[in-house]
Amino acid sequence: MTISFVILLFLISLVNTSTVRPFTSSAIPIPGRNVPIMRLFENYAASCRPTNKRDFNMDQLANLLQSFQMDEVATKQYNSLFFSMADMQIEKFMGKWYTVVDSKEVHKEDCGIFYFDMVLQTPYTATFTSKQYAFLNNDVVTNEGYGSMVGPEPGAVLITTGHERDQCPFTPVRIGGLNDEGEYQYMILSTPLKYPTMVLTRDMEQFETKWKREVYDFVEKNGFMSPMAALNTRLHFTDTDVCRKVNKLYENGNV
């Protein structure tokens, strides 16, 4: 049984039984404190929308989970997700982003653009809004969500898109470069199952010429391109030239 499948069972059990609560202001991880990795996964699961659908027998699932050393499994999965992530400077995350890679089996929309705007920030926490504009069947669709940072560790930034197919939040698993304004130039967003996955960029032309190969190699090598949870589907790389023609928000390129 693979690590990802064990984590899948674990997350489903937490989401459906509501046994955990997200971090509160009195329990925010801060530098110098060792937060158990299982606690980060529990916080992630507590941020998912509950579902009435029971895909697994919960009693059997509970017995199965007890047979695993979950701390060890969680550590391995955490390391496989965040091995290339340093502590995140959340203010460099804000602003406008173009979706250049997506899991199309989940997100049917095309040519998505995200806007992230800070609402509240402290030294170790942050809350921000998320708004997405995209095209579906020639119509503009909008998804509104929110994001939070609950500590400096990789995995402590969660983004809820508001998309009806996104039951659980995304978290950055890789960020690339800084532009002249000191902002991140691209980021890879995913989940503990490495599916769904999205790649966002500030500058489409720079992504094509400078970052696309790097991103492709990363998602291919590290199991994000076609993970088990994706059922043999692969990530879709957006044709940005087409998006410039159909989405008016692309007209000004990097504005």
User: Taking residues 103-118, what's their average pLDDT?
Assistant: 94
Instruction: Note the pTM of the prediction, 2 decimals.
Output: 0.78
Q: Token pair for residue 179? A: 């532009």
* Rounded distance between C-alpha atoms, residue 46 and residue 1, angstroms: 24
Residue 116: name the closest of 149, 84, 86, 83 by CA. Answer: 149
Per-residue pLDDT, 153: 78
Lowest mean pLDDT among 56-70, 133-147, 165-179: 56-70
User: Taking residues 86-111, what's their average pLDDT?
Assistant: 90
pLDDT for residue 236 is more than 50: yes
User: Taking residues 222-237, what's their average pLDDT?
Assistant: 83
pLDDT for residue 63 is more than 90: no
Distance of CA 128 to the CA centre of its chain: 15
Write down the mean pLDDT value for the chain.
77
User: Taking residues 219-224, what's their average pLDDT?
Assistant: 91
Distance of CA 24 to the CA centre of its chain: 21
Residue 187: name the closest of 89, 55, 78 by CA. Answer: 89
Query: Helices (DSSP H) in the chain: which residue ranges?
Result: 3-17, 37-46, 58-66, 70-82, 204-206, 212-221, 240-246
More confident residue, 67 or 151: 151
Per-residue pLDDT, 56: 40
pLDDT for residue 54 is more than 60: no
User: Taking residues 7-31, what's their average pLDDT?
Assistant: 46
Tens digits of per-residue pLDDT, 198-207?
999 999 888 9
Residue 51's pLDDT band (cuts 50, 70, 90): low
The b/e string for 58-93 (b: 16+ C-beta within 10 A; e otherwise) is: eeebeebeeeeebeebbeebbeebbeebeebebebb
pLDDT for residue 26 is more than 50: no
